[in-house]
Amino acid sequence: MNQPITPGDPQGRFGYVALIGRPNVGKSTLLNHILGQKLSIVTAKPQTTRHRITGIKTTDEGQVVYLDTPGIHASAGRALNRYMNRVARAAFRDVELVLFLVEAGRMTRQDHKIAEMLEKLDIPVFLVINKIDTVPDRTELLKFVAEDVPQDQFTEVLMISASHGDGVDDLEEKVIAQLPFSMPFYDEDQITDRSERFLAAEMIREALTERLHQELPYALTVEIEQFKREDGLVRVAAIIWVERDSQKQITIGKGGQVLKQVGRRARQSMEALFDSKVFLQTHVKVSKDWSRSERLLEKFGYD
């Protein structure tokens, strides 16, 4: 594999782009569509993304490094929520462009607060109105843009459907045009700077979030004890941490059925991502109120 190239080539463009917005507006779905494969985990539940996920897209025009961030929370009572807000805000520091995602037909108070925060930046900000497929009446959509969206503060206002791909090609063209001329930093076949251990933990957490209901997904996290490639097989051993003994029982399920279903789904996702057979072992343990402890967050990789 080639070594990263130092910046300086005037033939292509390179830069970092942050995906910002409140929870569940489609940031991870957009990143996955741009990359053409699943990298960020996606569920119907808000707060699925907890860490910054780096997705790298290389084309003939240049290389764009997209930073998928956790949704910004208006209320951040728990240490975990405060951590996610810090991760999202830190993404502003070293990027050339921000994509601010909102939901078509719904500009909330939280969206307006984020817009006010973005107005202080001295870099371009695109307002990206996502989920236009959920507002089939074009007149209603245009009315929403005209009456509810503060268009004047944004470099571009774009309408897309990340799940269907509508408008995404145009978005990518406008993104690359905003970036400076420079050689790429990453290898052309690299899609992220995250480790396989990290991605394995995310696949398990996605499977748990999809399988479990109500508040339980927000009370658990995943720690990878072992990740080893050998003889065409990936061996993964993981601990699923919850906050209560009752949560442990629910996560395991009667006769271990819930944990088996979660393991099967996570293993399939890993095999697709790692292009290899996966042997997965999972155990559930209790760490009381881990999501409220800055020390435990750091221990579990929230740094």
Are residues 170 and 220 part of one domain? no
191 within some domain: no
Q: What was the pLDDT predicted at 285?
A: 95
- Does the structure show a pLDDT above 80 at 88? no
Q: What was the pLDDT predicted at 231?
A: 87
Are residues 204 and 68 part of one domain? no
- Does the structure show a pLDDT above 70 at 43? no
Average pLDDT, the chain: 86
6 within some domain: no
Q: What was the pLDDT predicted at 48?
A: 62
Are residues 217 and 159 part of one domain? no
Q: What was the pLDDT predicted at 289?
A: 86
Tens digits of per-residue pLDDT, 245-281?
A: 999 999 999 999 999 999 999 999 999 989 999 999 9
Q: What was the pLDDT predicted at 127?
A: 96
Mean pLDDT comparison of 71-75, 105-109, 111-115, 158-162, highest-scoring range: 158-162
Are residues 202 and 168 part of one domain? no
Are residues 203 and 174 part of one domain? no
Tens digits of per-residue pLDDT, 181-239?
A: 999 999 998 999 888 998 999 899 889 988 887 667 778 899 999 999 998 899 999 99
185 within some domain: no
Q: Which of 151, 178, 205 is the last residue of a domain?
A: 178
Are residues 166 and 229 part of one domain? no
What's the total number of domains in the chain? 2
Q: Which of 132, 151, 178 is the last residue of a domain?
A: 178
DSSP the chain: -PPPPPS--TTSEEEEEEEE-STTSSHHHHHHHHHTS--S---SSTT---S-EEEEEEETTEEEEEEE-PPPPS---SHHHHHHHHHHHHTTTT-SEEEEEEETTB--HHHHHHHHHHTT-SS-EEEEEE-GGG---HHHHHHHHHHH--GGG-SEEEE-BTTTTBTHHHHHHHHHHHSPB---SS-TT---SS-HHHHHHHHHHHHHHHHS-TTGGGG-EEEEEEEEEETTEEEEEEEEEESSHHHHHHHH-GGGHHHHHHHHHHHHHHHHHHTSEEEEEEEEEE-TTGGG-HHHHHHTT--
Tens digits of per-residue pLDDT, 47-70?
A: 566 667 889 999 999 999 998 877
Are residues 212 and 163 part of one domain? no
Q: What was the pLDDT predicted at 3?
A: 39
CATH code, 277 = 3.30.300.20
Q: What was the pLDDT predicted at 160?
A: 96
CA 64 to centroid of chain Cα atoms = 16
Binned at pLDDT 50, 70 and 90, residue 117 comes out as: confident
Are residues 202 and 65 part of one domain? no
Are residues 172 and 203 part of one domain? no
5 within some domain: no
163 within some domain: yes
CATH code, 53 = 3.40.50.300
- Does the structure show a pLDDT above 50 at 1? no
Are residues 169 and 55 part of one domain? yes
Q: What was the pLDDT predicted at 13?
A: 95
190 within some domain: no
Are residues 221 and 163 part of one domain? no
Q: Which of 178, 207, 239 is the last residue of a domain?
A: 178
The boundaries of the domain holding residue 49 are 13-178
Tens digits of per-residue pLDDT, 145-195?
A: 888 888 788 999 999 999 999 999 999 999 999 999 999 999 998 999 888
Are residues 242 and 174 part of one domain? no
188 within some domain: no
- Does the structure show a pLDDT above 70 at 42? no
